[in-house]
Amino acid sequence: MNFNQQYNQFKEQFAGMSPEMKEQMMKMAKEQMKARISGFFKKWFALPVLTLVAVALGAVVGALMAFFGQVLLAVGGLRDAHPIYFIPGLALAGVGIVLAYKKWGKGAERGMGVVFAVGQGKESHIPLRLIPMVAVGTWLTHLFGGSAGREGVAVQIGGALGHNISKKLPFENASHIMLVAGMAAGFSGLFQIPMAATAFALEVLIVGHMDLMALLPAAVAAFTACKVSSLCGLEKFSVDLNGLLGDGSVGALFMHDGALDMNFVVKLALLGVLFGVIGGGFAKLLSLAKEFFAKKFPDGMKRIAIMGVSLSAIFLLLWQGRYSGLGTNLIDMCFSGAGIADGSNIAGGIQSYDWVLKFALTILTLAAGFQGGEVTPLFSIGATLGATSAVMFGLPFPLVAALGYAAVFGSATNTLWAPILIGCEVFGFDCLPAFFVVCIAAYVCNGGQSIYNQKKLKLKF
């Protein structure tokens, strides 16, 4: 049957219909047309619209991260100047945090847990009250000497804003894409490492999976947040690693007599194994510590009060707050340039047990219920472990400290590309081969552990 015959047949059928039937057929045709137009719009305009929204999201999150970061540095500086006045009040600060969450933080008490649950499609709502709760809680934790990080605030604020903005957008997967973009913006705005932040947000939710659906919005949000944060006055931490190495460079260490120095590559791989075990061990012990103390002290207020008193005493006894806060004091010692002349001594001021104490006290602080995160303490643990291990491996300690800085973070978060790019953005892109080798070895040897509640893909063979 040709087209003319089909048309004539339809015309005859249509002519025989009642007026009511004709009206119903016209309505159905209009609805189908609207659905097709809507589907066309959503298919071809979703990515451009989401990307434009990501620019605005990145700008807002970047400004918030600059404010949060500057206040955090101020309270940390105040504590360092007067440790004897603030550290004894850690338990009281903890009780205040618990009371505030009970009164005003309904639905926000799980923090990163709810962000990851929404990102993995297990839940559908992140309350905006989470933003002020986690920010103020983290400031109090640091002011009174708790050993904690700050990335938890960044990821939670960015994720919460991105998710809630997405509710106004009529696109499929908008919620997930904007959540990932917000996470990238938060991480980038705080640390000003947009490429690493993009990779972190794309790979951290699901083990072994890069969420490329959100790639462009996440990257745009991350670069925007980085720029806005910088314009608002938050400074980036960076190190000229080649400058610290003196006559040599990281690239030159790979070559010996015009060929690849396999001895150096093997040393890097062994360092990666060490960093992988320590990072994975941190994640596992943190999980076990949270479970143990939750059973030991089921009442959250009692738990944070008792552990807060004990931690205050420990922090004061250990050189009045050397292991309090982010751990940036230890990181600065690793790259201060002191004692680098022969490239074999431990950095001036760093002790061989620094990484152990920072490791243990960060776990205890977070297991008690104090707010913050793990990433910057992990940077500190990795850098001090690297500085301590450098002599054993016969390598310049600034290099090994830098490798530990990135690789311990990567193994504790069960991510690969984020730590490689962190190493490059903080220490220089000519260091890429060294971070590539070490971070791969660390990723493989971390035992599949993570400080986050990651979703695992079920592979079928």
For residue 369, give the 3-state DSSP assignment.
Answer: coil
> CB-hemisphere CA count at 13 Å for 102?
9
- pLDDT category, 348, cuts 50, 70, 90? low
Eight-class DSSP state of 406: H
Sequence-separated contacts (24+) of 53-56 with Cβ below 8 Å: 53/165, 53/169, 53/178, 53/217, 54/178, 54/181, 54/185, 54/216, 54/217, 54/218, 54/220, 54/221, 54/224, 55/220, 55/221, 55/224
pLDDT tens-digit series, residues 257-300: 778 889 999 999 999 999 999 999 999 999 999 999 999 999 99
What pLDDT score was predicted for residue 340? Answer: 40
> Distance (Å, rounded) from C-alpha 406 to C-alpha 383?
8
Residue 85 pLDDT more than 80?
A: yes
Q: How many helices (H) and strands (E) does the chain have?
A: 20, 4
Q: How buried is 453 (Cβ within 10 angstroms: 0-12 exposed, 13-18 middle, 19+ buried)?
A: middle
Question: Could you tell me which of 263, 148, 171 has the C-alpha nearest to residue 217?
Answer: 171
Residue 31 sits at the vertex; the CA angle it makes with 25 and 32, to the nearest 5 degrees, is 90
What pLDDT score was predicted for residue 423? Answer: 97
What pLDDT score was predicted for residue 339? Answer: 42
> Distance (Å, rounded) from C-alpha 193 to C-alpha 418?
10
For residue 207, give the 3-state DSSP assignment.
Answer: strand
Of the listed ranges 72-86, 168-182, 310-324, 414-428, the least confidently predicted one is 168-182
pLDDT tens-digit series, residues 131-185: 999 999 999 999 999 999 998 899 999 999 999 999 888 888 899 999 999 999 9
Tokens representing 346 are 């431990």
Instruction: Give Cα 100 distance to the centre of its chain.
Output: 25
Whether residue 160 contacts residue 166, with contact meaning beta carbons closer than 8 Å, is answered with: no
Whether residue 335 contacts residue 347, with contact meaning beta carbons closer than 8 Å, is answered with: yes
> Distance (Å, rounded) from C-alpha 178 to C-alpha 167?
10
What pLDDT score was predicted for residue 265? Answer: 95
> Distance (Å, rounded) from C-alpha 192 to C-alpha 225?
8
Amino acid in the structure at residue 147: S
The CATH number of the domain covering residues in 241-456: 1.10.3080.10
Residue spans per domain, the chain: 41-231, 241-456
Whether residue 324 contacts residue 145, with contact meaning beta carbons closer than 8 Å, is answered with: yes
Average pLDDT estimate for 392-407 = 94
What pLDDT score was predicted for residue 260? Answer: 85
> Distance (Å, rounded) from C-alpha 420 to C-alpha 410?
8
Average pLDDT estimate for 48-64 = 96
Q: Does 241-456 match 41-231 at the fold level?
A: yes
Residue 256 pLDDT more than 90?
A: no
Residue 371 sits at the vertex; the CA angle it makes with 125 and 416, to the nearest 5 degrees, is 75
What CATH architecture does domain 41-231 belong to? Orthogonal Bundle (1.10)
Which residue matches tokens 């000519």? Answer: 430
